[in-house]
Amino acid sequence: MASPSRSGVFAADTDQRLEAYAESISFDSRLYRHDIRGSIAHAEMLSTVGLISSQEFQQIRDALTEIGAEIEAGKMPFRFELEDIHMHIEQALIERLGDVGRKLHTARSRNDQVSTDTRLWVRDALDRVDALLADLQRAFLSRCDADFDCILPAYTHLQRAQPVLAPHYWLAYVEKFARDRERVADCRRRVNQCSLGVAAVAGTTLPIDRDQTAAALGFDSPTANSLDTSSDRDFLIESAFVLSTIALHLSGWAEEWILWSTVEFDFIRLPQAFCTGSSIMPQKINPDTLELTRGKSARVMGNLQTLMLLVKNLPLAYNRDLQEDKPPLFDSFDTIEAMLELASPMVRESELNREKIADRLEKGYLDATTLMEWMVRRGMPQRTAHHLVGAIVGEAMSRDVPLADLPIEVFQSHAPEIDNSVYDVLGSRNAVDAFCSYGSTAPDQVRAQIERWQTAIATADEV
């Protein structure tokens, strides 16, 4: 069969090698629901403005619904000569309805059709990602009460720094994923514009109603410039960027928990259902899920690069290069959804090795900064206190004891004004309790943040 996009102007058939080279049905078939939805809205508008009769609209709507069910059931054979999902559906309509089917493409081009379908698809996909992110936030939040009393070392440069409450760690990720959700929502606003009616590039001379199709498809408004719309793939690039920041956050979390699950750290026991074994070393319980999360994040970030390079140097407006946008787009969404689906149960089902953590918590002088601030509060200049506490820590190191185990005389040999109340801020527990600033790991601050998030997430659930 000759391609329906080849008009009477062609005197020669398509070379079969071009058909195989140019097809997109192998990946854009997954747009079929959105294509059918867009076509029904378009046909209804055509009947409202009198370009087709209402009876023709009903025939088209019913036939498109049947075609959708046929594709759903896997009964539509896909053929390269029909290139893409848009042509397959239109051709199936023409086979059913003849000339009535031939009217569907009135005032429409595949250029506005593919953009509309992709916007509808991305909108649904962003909503799924948002729901998965909310679930991951709930997973971290669900740990906060039970882990409230557990103190972990916070690291800078991967060196022990200061003590923090475990829920302070969990809420750090809740915050990161909250920003991701804001980016999803913001991106969705720009996705949610209707391209339909832009036709090929300049609009149409036919009296269409773009507001009607936009409203019927749940878009906020029609796009305002046909040349821009026909070329615009910003909404895909933005989506791929939003997914890339999610990937970055997941990858960082995965790396942290991979480290935490080593014998060297031994902070966390990962659920065995999400670990794998070794084919040679019988003792191995490997964190492959987290490693793949780290690894798959590279694909998501690579896809963003692919999309940006794809549109770089394209003149206005539609160019066939744009067909190549879908494989990276779909891959980014598929990958992020798979990553998020496994992250939530891993967060819920992992267990902190509280004893192991506590055993080594007084190693690394996590309370040194608190001691310095204790001296600052008593009037010593910060730089002086910083130097002095460094010297005290050096002495504790040479004795291989924590600060809390140094006799008072040692403190007083460095600063005679130090009295026994210094021991009130020494040790990780005391050090954590000494914090007070907003956003810090102070227990009442952390408690307030847990409550803020519990309320925020409960309120969002009601919406």
Let me know if 189 is exposed, middle or buried by CB neighbors in 10 A (0-12, 13-18, 19+): exposed
Q: At what angle do helices 234-260 and 166-191 cross, to 10 degrees?
A: 170
Provide the token pair at 303. Answer: 């896809």
Q: Which is nearer to ligand ARG, 110 or 296 (CB)?
A: 110
CA distance 357 to 368: 19
Nearest residue (CB) to ligand ARG, 97 versus 199: 199
Residue with tokens 């690291």: 155
Which residues are registered as beta bridge partners of 269?
351
CB of 6 to ligand ARG, least distance (A): 11
Smallest gap from Cβ 30 to ligand ARG, in A, equals 12
CB-wise, 38 or 287, nearer to ligand ARG?
Answer: 38
Kindly tell me which of 85 and 450 has the beta carbon lying closer to ligand ARG: 85
> Cβ 78 to ligand ARG, closest distance in Å?
13
Q: What is the set of active-site residues?
A: 157, 278
Q: Could you list the residues that contact ligand ARG (CB under 6 A)?
A: 24, 28, 83-84, 110-111, 114, 318, 320, 322-323
- The span from the CA of 64 to the CA of 56, in Å, is 12
- Indicate the Cα dihedral angle 372, 374, 378, 379, nearest 10°: 30
Tokens of 202: 């300049």
Q: 195 or 350: whose CB is closer to ligand ARG?
A: 195
Which tokens sit at 413? 């040999």
Distance in Å, CB of 36 to ligand ARG, minimum: 16
Strand partners, 163: 153
Other beta carbons within 10 Å of 272: 10
